[in-house]
Each structure stands twice: as C-alpha cells, then as structure tokens.
Amino acid sequence: MICPRCGSNHITSQVITETTSNEKVKGFGWIKACIGFLLFSLPGVLCGLCGMGKGRRSTKTSSKVEYTCQNCGNRF
C-alpha cells in the first residue's frame, strides 16, 4: 500500500462505521396513520402507528476503511 499522491508507504488505516436510518420509511408510517385516522378515526391511528413500529424502519450500517498518509496527510 502506497500513497497515490506522494508514493510514501507510511500509511495508517482506520475503519469508519456509519449508521444511516431511512427517514422516508418513518414518514410513510405517519402518512399511514393519517390515512387511518381519516378512515377509521382513532383505531386507525393506532393501527398505523403499530405498522410503523413493526420494523419497516431500516437502519443501514456501512463500514469503510480510510487510509491516511503519514507523509503528506492525504486521505484516500
């Protein structure tokens, strides 16, 4: 492993973990609750919120490795 900028082999690697949650799916639960309210009043809201809690909310965990050059500070 060498730095693509300066060609040095003084490279440190770091694992970065990112967790992203899908807000759109969350919003869909609330829309469902609103539709439920319009159709069935209060029981509809409860059904909509139950559907939301059932885990259509998707969380995505992605990890990537970042390399930092000790010579020039280049990250890649």
**Which residues of this chain interact with Zn ion, rule CB under 5 A?**
3, 5-6, 8, 69, 71-72, 74
Q: How many angstroms separate the CA atoms of 57 and 42, rounded?
A: 23
CB of 68 to Zn ion, least distance (A): 9
* Closer CB to Zn ion, 33 or 69, in the complex: 69
* Closer CB to Zn ion, 37 or 74, in the complex: 74
Q: How many angstroms separate the CA atoms of 20 and 65, rounded?
A: 17
* Closer CB to Zn ion, 56 or 75, in the complex: 75
Q: How many angstroms separate the CA atoms of 43 and 46, rounded?
A: 5
CB of 71 to Zn ion, least distance (A): 4
CB of 65 to Zn ion, least distance (A): 17
Quick one: 59 exposed, middle or buried, by C-beta within 10 A (0-12, 13-18, 19+)? exposed
